[in-house]
Every structure is written in structure tokens, then in C-alpha cells.
Chain A
Amino acid sequence: MSQAHSLDLFSDQLSEGPAVDGGAAQMHRTPSPPYLQVFDLVKKYGTFSALDGVSLAIAAGEFISFLGPSGCGKTTLLRAIAGLDFQTSGSLYQDGADISWLPPDQRDFGIVFQSYALFPNLTVAENIAYGLENQGTKKHQIAERVAGLLNNVGLPGAEKRFPGQLSGGQQQRVALARALAPSPNLLLLDEPLSALDARVRVHLRREIKALQHRLGITTIMVTHDQEEAMTMADRIVVMNQGRIEQIGTPREIYENPVSVFVAQFVGTINLLPFTPCGPDTVEVAGLKFRCPHSGRHKGTGGVLAIRPEDIECTDVHDHDANCIDVRVESSEFLGATMRLKLVQGPDLALIADVPIRALRGSDIRPGQAMRVRLDAERIRLFDEAGNC
């Protein structure tokens, strides 16, 4: 349900204006070079490669999210971009300039760490003013800027308090204000919301996104929470074991994952081993399914993938249309949808998300028989290595 919800949000924003209209599309349109470019970045710890040849380009004003499981190298990549840890090889360009080997104090960025790293012995105002004081800004200007920033992050009047006296969410906002104070052109966020409880997190997500939108600041956010990435980012960089698996808008990533890894990591998906048989047809557990995109997998087996929401209840009795008879093994009520675990014989188990509306009037019980259809257009096939 949350998945559907977040996609709704995304489409809301789509209709708002062109700025969030997918970074990639925007870059094709604009001739200006990308704001940040990463070329073939490698980071080795001994023989272990934390980053194994990472390349990407980010347009000015984009909100990018690095998404991936723990230990995949997200933080390493972010710290290399910040210059906090140097890469083993590869180069970085920001605003056309080579910053590959510059120390952090010579780069242009603001950063919010997972721990916030607020200075506990300085007040909120002193924390935020920290980066302004050595720029020679006048006292009253600093005070104004601090007040403005606090307003912007939704904490007006918190100047005199110490970080320890604030809640986690408030500390997060202070850290954000401190990073934004010197008006950097690049904002780096390392799991900014992971230390907060679920409610605050959802709230702050929207706020950070709105703030980023308002300021138009190029932003990179590291997260291992796919929902966070989906709801906030213009484009998501999915990483796995030091490599980039896929770069794309949340919708592209969700609808057209390029690998089993991405498909599994973003959202829920059914994965069924298949063997090819005939044109546009594959066989799964003795059943034949039609899928118009099977051409590339002639002669080899692989994995058939279909999202739970692409399996629908039907009355039609048409085997050519991927209709199969199944039994309900268990059901889970999720609000707008019902998640059904369906089985067909001993070898085939499926998860289907059926809209509650489609089930009105019928009672779902374990053991009950029903007929479902796998949407042929939405079936994706991956080879044995898990790639397209």
C-alpha cells in the first residue's frame, strides 16, 4: 500500500511543474554540462573494493538518492564526493572543475551526517553560524541568516537552546540548517533520517524535499530505505557491492528494473524460475505463460519476475491470456489492498496484491479456489545471472 501511496505522491509532484520531471530527461534537453560528474571511481581497502568503477552524472538542481543494501559502498561514494576519504582512482568534476584530489575544505558542499555531528557545547545559533563566522560576515547579518534558516527548517526561535535539549527530528533540522548556512551548491545527506522514528521520518521526508525544491540545491542523499528514495529523489542510483546497478527515476527503477537485484530491492516482486518454450512463451512449474518480451532468452532458462499488483483476479477462462487456477494459502489485509499468497500445485507460489474493491462482496478464506491473470505486458524475464 505504501508503495502505491508513494507513487501517487510522485505523480502529484509531476503535475506540479517541470522541475521534478525526471533528471535524466531534463539533462537531455539542456545542453549545459552536468553539475557533478563521477568517472570510474574505485576505492580499495586492501584487496577489497568498496567502490568498483562507479560513473555517474548529476544535473544542477537534481535530487539524487544512493540506494542499496548495507555495505554496498554508498557512504564511501558520498565521502569520496566530499573529499573526506580519497578514492583509489577515478576522477570527480564539480561545475566543470576537477575536484578529484582536493581536500574537503577546498570543495563546495554542505553535509549532514547520520549522527548529525552537532557541536554539543554550542547553542543552536552558534552551530548554524559556525560556517559563517570565519567568512567575515557581520554579526547582525549572521543573526538574521540564522533566524532565516531556522524559519526555513521549521524551528523558529530555537537559537538559544543546546542540541542536547532538542528531539532527534529537531537536531536533524539544525544539522540541515548548519549545512545550508554558507549557501553551498551541493548538499550531501548520509542517511539523514535513519536515526528517527517512523512518524517523524515521513514528515521530515516531505519537508526536506520541499526545502530542496525551494532552494533548487543539487542534493545527494544516501539511504538504504527504498521508500525514502522513492518518495524524495528525482533519480535513484541503485548500488550493489561497490557497483551501480541502475540509475533512473523512481518509476523507471520500479517498473523497469534492469536486474533481479534491483527488482527485489525496490518493492516486492515474484521471482519464478522458467525454461523457454516456443515463441514468446515460457514454462514455469509445468504451466505455460505468454510474455511478449521473451525473445532474448531463447535456449536458456532464467527468472520470470512479476510484481504482486500485476496479478489480478479474473473470471475469464483463457489459458492463452496467462490465466491460472490457484488456491489461497493465506491472506494479509493491508488497507487498500489485500495481499494474497497463492499456490498452484506443489511448485508454484505467488504473491498477489488485489485491490479491496475487486474483492468486495467476496470472502477470502484459506483453501479457497480462485482464478488469476498474470499481466503479460508486465512480466519481465531475467537470465540466469539475474540481468536483463
Chain B
Amino acid sequence: MDTLYKRPLRAPFRAGPVTSGDQLLLRGLALLSALLLVVTILFPLYSMLAKSFHDASGLFIGLENFQRYFSEASLYRAVSNSFVIAGMATLISLLLAFLYGYGLTRTCMPFKPLFRVVSLIPLLAPSLLPAISLVYFFGNQGVAKELLMGHSIYGPIGIVLGLVIWVFPSALMILMTSLSMTDARLYEAASVLKAGPIRTFFTVTLPGVKYGLISAAFVVFTLTLTDFGVAKVIGGQYNVLATDLFKQVIGQQNFQMGAVVGLMLLLPAILAFFVDRYARRKQVAITGARAVPYSPKPHALRDRFFLLYCSLIGCLLIAMLGMAAYASFVTFWPYDQTLSLKNYQFDMMDGGGWAAFYNSLQMALLTAVFGTLFIFLTAYVSERCHGWRPVLNLIGGLTLLPMAVPGMVLGLAYIFFFNAPDNPLNGFYGGMTIMVISTIVHYYTVSHLTAVTAIKQMDPEIEAVGASLKVPQYRTFCRVSLPLCLPAVLDISTYLFSTAMTTISAVIFLYSPDTFLASIAMLHMEGAGDIAPSAAMAMVIVLTSTSVRLLHWLLTRRLSARLQRWKGA
């Protein structure tokens, strides 16, 4: 045998691994992705940070801007106002959403799918919509003004109510995930141990969703802290950080102070982001992979209570949408209640007219197409590229960062970065491109995580098999990986499209007269006192988002039929 262990002489000597063409391509793409992410995320945020330490003439002044901010009561009052509002809205929405989610996951009440769909209503339109509806219900000429017993809806009450409605679906989704992840065996154990319903709730149910609650609380807190639309419409004289930021930057052109306010928004958001990540990891850890899903048993009293409760919330959400829809057709509220399409003649009003809607449509399409392409490819590359750890880690960090950056902060950072006269990318400023990029970046993380989850679910050896059969990886990607991930790709593009249709926060700083968007038109018309047209524009947006979601639903249904065929009967 020993004679065999001689090295063959004709073999050439090689020092190290030869990188395959496939890996070279992946690495090239990884580098490109990392580069683009650095330019569109890291550089802008850095510009903003830098701005806050400089004065208007570009001189470094250290913390002077911050000192000035905190020495002016009118300015820093916005901080406490914002935190109070966000705290209240978070508490209320969490409570409402928890009960709603409990009804959907832990009871046997009827019409669950319907309630699920209804809960999504607030996602179909910009956050202005709940605020506009509130004005029609409780405003100076509102139909149910008396219910407020003399209090004004314009101010903290209105902001909190509007925010609660707007963030309700977001809170619900997180809570439902953790409510449905709890292990059924824990309940069996509790009932074997003869624990009563109250005791079971406090010893099993609450601990099981603890991290879901934490996660939802911080996500919702960030959303409510940084939202602009609601406070703008219904905030009255009540100053919050988001409106303040808008005033500093657009009203007074005080960019340095804007950067300071931006940081005030960014810091809590980053903190919340880390708490959320921590909670999510814990949630996964406590449920584990082998949890037995809980399936509720009928219980007449409980089921009836939750049916009643969910119906109430559902009706309120429908009423919110219905009121705005109705108002959008009323010729002249409250004097001429005849129904007409007068409010839909956007071209007769301030705010960009129908062109704004077409711009929105165009932006949403571009965002969906390019966003999905870039996000999915980047996710694929970061999962399948071997070696080059630093580049992949950079991508990993930068794809998570956008979740921690509030939209307004992102928009502001984009002004500072792209509008700098010495930036070669300066040409993008004020155009459609920058709005598309900002929207993709703004909603990057959720899309990225969706893509990564789908890619991780595929057999990791698929590419290895392709390589062993000498098929280039891009072909295996197109023929196998991509078709297998198609549901996720559809999810991502729909998500990007509908958020692009409704977003305000980032683009509010980036639009130009040529690139008015529907959501921004809403803001303008509302600001000019044309509330009904604003509601009408909201309806157009709602109709578009609904159609896209319906299309998505149909496509997904066809896809899952095909998936079923792959899996066999």
C-alpha cells in the first residue's frame, strides 16, 4: 500500500483555492451591493450627524447646536410632547391589538378571516387618513363632536387617536405571530395541573407573548414617535418632534437645527431597534422549533365576548374608512350634502392634481421592480457567497440599519447628502430616482428579512448539485432558486408597492414640483383647507393599494396551486 502514497509527478503545483466563476460573480455582486448600500444608507446618515456639529457656514462648533436646542423651551417641549403622545398611543394600541389578536388566534369565534382583512384597512392609506376621518367625526363641524364633551380633537387627543388607528395593524401582526407561536403543550400541562383560566393566563399566556409584547411596544413606539401625517393634520398648535423637524427644515431652512431634531428622533429609534431585535431572538428561543401549535376549543362565553369586541373594533375601522369615503363624495361639507365627484377633480386644486397620483403610481412601480430586484439579489448573494466575510458582514449590518432609521430622518439625511453641491450624485436630487431610492431604503429591512427567510428555507445543496452538474450558478438561480422563492418575491414587491403608495415621511423632504406624489398632494390640499379633496385622494390611494393586494392574493393563490402540484397530492 505504501507505494501508493507518492505524489504523481505530472500534477501541477497550486498554492490555494481557485475561485470558481460562480463565486467570482457572487463576489462582484456582493461588492456592488455593499457599495450601493454604503452610498444610500451610511453616507447620508453620516452627513446628517456631521451637520449637527456644524454651523450654517460649515464651521465645526461641537455641541453648540444641541445646547441651543435644549435652552429653548419651545423647542425641547416637542421632545416631551412626542414621548407622551407616543407612550399613550403605544399603550392603547397594544391593549386593543392584543385583545383583537387574542380573539383571532385563541378563540373559536366565527368570521376570523374577515376580521383579519378588516384589521389591515389602516395600511391601505397614508397616516393622514385616520386623522382626516377624525376631523369629520369630531372636528369643528364633525358629526359626533359632542362625544368629546367640549375637548378639542385638534391636539393631543386627536393625535393619539389617529396614531392608535394607524399603528393598529402593525401591533396586531407582531402580537399575532407570538400569540400563535405559543406551545399548546404548556396549556395541556396547565390544565392537567388544574390551573384556573386566570392563573393560566398569567402563568402561560402572558409569559409566552412577553417578548412579542416587548417587540410590538418598541416597534409601535418608534412608529408613533416619528410619524408626521397625523400630527400635521390634527395636531393643531401641539408641537411634536416630527412636525418640528418639518418646520425647522422646510419652514425656516435651519438645516443644522433640523439635524439636531433628526438625531432626537434617531436615537430612541435605534434604542428601540435593539430592544426589538433582542426580544425577537428571545421569542424564537422560548418557543423552539418543536412547539405544538395551539388550537383553541369552543367556549361559548369567551367566543361571544371576542366576537363582540372584534366586531366593535372592526366597525370602528370600517367607519374610519367609510367616513372619509363618504366625505369625499359630499359636494360641500356640511352645507351641501349632495353626492358628487367634485372633490375628485384634483386638477382644479393645489397640490399637483392627478399628475401627483400618476407620479405615485410610477414611483410605486419603480420601487417595487427595482427594490425587489436589488433586495432579493442582495439577500441571495449574502446567503450564498462563500468567504469575503467583511463584505458580507457589512451588507448584513446595512440591511438591518434602515429599520432603525425613521423615514423623516432618512429624508433629511438624503437632503444633506445628495443636495451637497460637491456630491457627484447631486443630479438625483429633486428627481424621481432619489424618491425611489429613499423608499426602497426606508422599507429595506422587512423586505430583506422576508427574502432571507425564503432563501434559508431552500435546500442549501441545490447550488452544490448545480455546480456538480457543471451548470453555472446563475442558471440554477433562474431555473430553480428563483421559482422556489417566487411567493416571497411577490410578497416583497407588493409590500414595496403599497408602502410606496402611502409613504410620506421620507419623501416629504425630497419631492419637487415635478414629482408631487399622491400622499403629498393629500397633505397640501389638507393644509390649504381642501379636506374633502384630500379625503378623495386618500380614496384613490386606498383603491390602488386594495387592487394591488387583491392581485397579489390572486397570484399567490395560483402559485400555491402550483406549489401543491410540485409537492404532489
Contacts and interface: CB of A to CB of B under 8 A. Distances in A.
B71 interface: no
B129 to A, nearest CB: 41
Contacts of B461: 113, 115, 117
A164 B471 contact: no
B459 A37 contact: no
Contacts, number: 124
B389 interface: no
Nearest to B471: A134
Contacts of A181: 469
Contacts of A133: 471
A86 interface: yes
A24 B468 contact: no
Interface in B1-32: 1, 4-5, 7-8, 10-23
Contact of A117 (B18, B459, B565): B459
Interface stretch (B90-98, B251-259, B475-483): B475-483
A96 B8 contact: yes
B14 to A, nearest CB: 5
B11 A121 contact: no
B480 A86 contact: no
A122 interface: yes
Contacts of B22: 103, 105
B425 interface: no
> Which of the listed residues A28, A110, A134, A178 has the most CB atoms from chain B within 10 Å of its own CB?
A134
A131 B472 CA distance: 10
A117 B471 contact: no
A97 B469 contact: no
B467 interface: yes
Interface in B348-405: none
Nearest to A182: B469
Interface residues of B, number: 41
B20 A134 contact: no
A302 to B, nearest CB: 26
Interface string B451-478: 0000000010110111111111001000
Contacts of A34: 4
Interface in A163-179: 163-166, 178-179
B314 to A, nearest CB: 39
Interface residues of A, number: 48
Contacts of B467: 84, 103-105
Given A33-B8, A96-B11, A103-B20, A120 B468 contact: no
Contact of A121 (B7, B465, B566): B566
B389 to A, nearest CB: 13
B568 A86 contact: no
B470 A57 contact: no
Given A98-B13, A103-B467, A122-B479, A164 B4 contact: no
A106 B465 CA distance: 13
B4 A57 contact: yes
B569 interface: yes
A261 interface: no
> Which of the listed residues B4, B468, B475 has the most CB atoms from chain A within 10 Å of its own CB?
B468
Contact of A120 (B12, B18, B466, B484): B484
Q: When A and B form their complex, which 9 residue pairs have the shortest distance between CB atoms, in order from nearest?
A: A131-B469, A103-B20, A165-B568, A98-B11, A117-B461, A164-B567, A57-B4, A104-B467, A164-B568
5 contacts: A28-B1, A96-B10, A104-B468, A110-B468, A121-B566
Interface of B: 1, 4-5, 7-8, 10-23, 459, 461-462, 464-472, 475, 479-480, 483-484, 565-569
